[in-house]
Amino acid sequence: MADEIKIGAYICQGCGIGDRVDTAQLAQVAQRDAKASIVREHAFLCNAEGVKMIQDDIDNEGVNRVAICACSRRAKTEAFNFEGVAITRGNLREGVIWIRPDTDEARETTQDMADDYVRMAVTEAKYMTPPKGDDNTKYTPKVLIVGGGVSGMTAAVEAAKAGYQCTIVEKSGALGGAAAKAWKRIPQHAPYADPEDTGVAELIKAVEESDKITVHLNSHLTKTSGAPGRFSADITTESGSTTTENFGAIVQASGYFEYDARQLPELGYGKSANVVTQAELDAMAKEADGGPIKTKDGKEVNSVAFIQCAGQRSEKEGHLPYCSGHCCLTSIKQAMYFKDQNPDIDTNVIYTDLRTPGAGGEDFYRSGQQKGITFTKGAVSEVVASGDALEVKFKDLILDEDTSEKVDLVVLATGQVPNSGVDIEAMAAVVEGEEDGAEPEEPTAVQVPVESILNLTYRQGPDVPHLKYGFNDSHFICFPYETRRTGIYTTGPVRRPMDMQQAIEDATGAAMKAIQAIENAAKGRAAHPRSGDLSFPSFRREGCTQCKRCTVECPFGAIDEDEERYPQFNEERCRRCGTCMGACPVRVISFENYSVDSVGQQLKIVDIPDEFEEKPRILALACENDAYPALDMAAMNKVEYSAFVRVIPVRCLGSVNLIWITDALNSGYDGVVMMGCQKGENYQCHFVRGSEIAHVRMSKVDDTLQSLSLEPERVSVHEVAITDIERAPALINEMAETIEKIGMSPFKF
């Protein structure tokens, strides 16, 4: 039969495996216990001869499930890459021989571990189907770029160079964004001594001359639907006319607003026309075009004070708690406007902390000193009008005394506020509060009342979720640019505060990611972090209770509802994390190569010794992105941990279904350790909220333990970083010690 399951188990003797465990016994276990159809041993399975042996069995013996019992699944991935078959890995090297001492006393438990990992690998293969991908994928090699500033134009130019059609949608009547209003920019070339031309005109020219870039000015998106490879966007002009176009990926480069300096009356803004922001000063300099910069009432400027962190890096209500990054260098640049025009003009940069990031930051700062710019470490308390001048009152933090100075012009270094669209999570909280009949909690972050940028038709809201302080969601550690909306990438100051050069580099990366999304979608493959994965979720309709947990908990808005209120999976949006599978209380959601059964049957096939053998069993469910690599690296460093643990890598802790915990405890496991990524504000979860969702679920596991009359210490959930190569094994050892104290499970038979 074409669909007959035929499993080939291949056991490697290399890398010391054959010296430490009895591979003939492993072969017997694979055939007798796990029912593998073909079992072969090989001296070095990953060499050309070993790989050919496996391929020959696939071609000639009908093997369609391959269980490779050798090294970690993270090793030799190219060698063990066989098309059209399901592949599993039994970790005998990093998972067994490298974490156990090479002594006669340890030989028996080491062999026990190896036997179990062979059973688990073959059993996992039995419950997998080779993924074939989605046949309904579409290839639209066009990139939609929302925003026509430096970030947006750069993304368009770079994508066009790679051969992709691009469309820029800009809400104003001209390209260039905030940078077009500046006179000069922070230098990006050696010797980093003087301000440079912005380069905006050249960038606009490159956009206008490209036959691959279309620009819609005075336009915005009124509706965006679809998924990677098949986005559909309604582009509406000021006059109300709308055109609909299809795109493969979207880059959101909607930029930022300048912080509203009217919230700083103590610094004189709004009270005196001679107190201006950095953006306003650049506009004044551009108008002067190299000539003397005069006050707004036309008077000459003989002295200027630059006040850093105006309304920034402050926990005061209405202020920005973050640093906007570019402001110190921008003040140095603007002080040079005056010094280069007339060295006798007094320029004083008053700062609490001076930050000059970038390759030439320190050189530019020294150049400012050489030109006569004064830098004063001080905290400004007030700016008041004093006749025709302004009096800046501040505390000199070096001399530790209150002082003041009179100047003609004050420049406030106000920050960048992202133009990021609707805060959909705040909206959800309000809706939830209304549904519960309770008042919604007061928002603690800076709230920016902005209209929707993307107008997405997603069930979870019209815009990309916010990460912090209103900036668009972007995995700042693992996957920059990539948001919780697959195929939609944020770039520039809407993602994080940055200067012009950083925005150019940022946009280039976002363009590359958009291209990757288009190409992956065309092949029905996942984009990231499981790049290339052809699997996608499906569900048994007849078993679905329409509880909506999968649609609510999916971190990526990949699940909608059809007319009959059943889940509707958008495969191209899916990241293959399995959070929906873990959320489903009736266990009807699965992937071809990852399911409740593919994990559940693994933990059940493990040999559970009876209580008299004094060999406890611990189940460890380890995130494949951080915890599992940490255990692998621990093995490479010969860090030992308990021989009684059986580790199963999971796509994300969010994919863990409570039935696995119940089944493990019912099967006689003495303890369960779950290791996921760091959650919360500084999350490191590759699937953003998967670890957080898992912790919420597992907070209720005490009820399960209580119903089984088991101690709560038998189940633990931990946040583990990829660098925790000492801590991850220690957590397993801690559980072993706990079991030794409280005793083994009463469910052993």
Burial of 203 (0-12, 13-18, 19+ CB in 10 A): buried
The one-letter amino acid code at 510 reads A
Least confident of 216-220, 283-287, 314-318, 442-446: 442-446
Q: What is the DSSP string of 103-136?
A: SHHHHHHHHHHHHHHHHHHHHHHHT-------TT
pLDDT higher than 90, residue 1: no
Peptide bond into 191 cis (omega under 30): yes
Q: What local confidence, expressed as pLDDT, does residue 386 receive?
A: 80
Predicted confidence band at 442 (pLDDT cuts at 50, 70, 90)?
Answer: very low
For residue 585, the tally of other CB atoms under 10 A from its CB is 12
Q: What local confidence, expressed as pLDDT, does residue 138 receive?
A: 73
pLDDT higher than 80, residue 447: no
Q: In whole angstroms, what is the distance from residue 360 CA to residue 17 CA?
A: 53
Give bridge partners of residue 392 from the DSSP assignment: 383, 405
Q: What local confidence, expressed as pLDDT, does residue 425 receive?
A: 80
Q: Which residue, 616, 620, 627, is CA-closest to 661?
A: 620
Q: What local confidence, expressed as pLDDT, does residue 467 receive?
A: 83
Contacts of 718 (CB under 8 A, 6+ apart): 673, 674, 675, 676, 731
Strands 231-237 and 242-247: antiparallel
Sorted by where each starts, the structural domains of the chain and their CATH numbers stand as: 1-130 (3.40.50), 142-257+419-522 (3.50.50.60), 266-288+296-414 (3.50.50.60)
For residues 77-107, one letter each, b for 16 or more C-beta atoms within 10 angstroms of the residue's C-beta and e for the rest, the string is eebbebeebbbbbbbbbbbbbbbbeeeeeee
Contacts of 30 (CB under 8 A, 6+ apart): 9, 11, 36, 39, 67, 69, 118, 119, 122
The angle, 0 to 180 degrees and rounded to 10, between the axes of the packed helices 104-126 and 23-32 is 30
Q: Which residue, 545, 541, 572, 540, is CA-closest to 559?
A: 572
When pLDDT is averaged across residues 290-309 and rounded to a whole number, the result is 93
Q: What are phi and psi of 602, to 5 degrees?
A: -60, -50
Give bridge partners of residue 716 from the DSSP assignment: 673
Q: Which residue, 35, 193, 59, 189, is CA-closest to 125?
A: 35
Least confident of 29-33, 392-396, 568-572, 614-618: 568-572
In degrees to the nearest 10, what's the CA dihedral of 196, 197, 202, 203? 70
When pLDDT is averaged across residues 6-34 and rounded to a whole number, the result is 97
Q: What local confidence, expressed as pLDDT, does residue 131 receive?
A: 85
For residue 27, the tally of other CB atoms under 10 A from its CB is 19
When pLDDT is averaged across residues 79-95 and rounded to a whole number, the result is 95
The average confidence (pLDDT) of the chain is 92
Contacts of 542 (CB under 8 A, 6+ apart): none
Q: In whole angstroms, what is the distance from residue 383 CA to residue 393 CA?
A: 6
When pLDDT is averaged across residues 169-194 and rounded to a whole number, the result is 95
Predicted confidence band at 439 (pLDDT cuts at 50, 70, 90)?
Answer: very low
The answer for 226, left when phi > 0, alpha when psi is -120 to 50, beta otherwise, is: left
When pLDDT is averaged across residues 379-390 and rounded to a whole number, the result is 90
Q: What local confidence, expressed as pLDDT, does residue 610 receive?
A: 85
Identity of the highest mean pLDDT range in 360-374, 418-432, 671-685: 360-374
Q: What are phi and psi of 279, to 5 degrees?
A: -65, -40
Q: In whole angstroms, what is the distance from residue 562 CA to residue 655 CA?
A: 23
* Alpha-carbon dihedral sign for residues 631, 632, 638, 641: positive
Burial of 315 (0-12, 13-18, 19+ CB in 10 A): exposed
Q: In whole angstroms, what is the distance from residue 564 CA to residue 642 CA?
A: 50
Structure tokens given for 664: 């493990």
In the block, tokens 């030799």 appear at 76
Q: What local confidence, expressed as pLDDT, does residue 705 receive?
A: 85
Q: Which residue, 12, 46, 49, 8, is CA-closest to 30?
A: 8
pLDDT higher than 70, residue 498: yes
pTM: 0.89
Segment holding 630, helix H or strand E:
helix 627-636
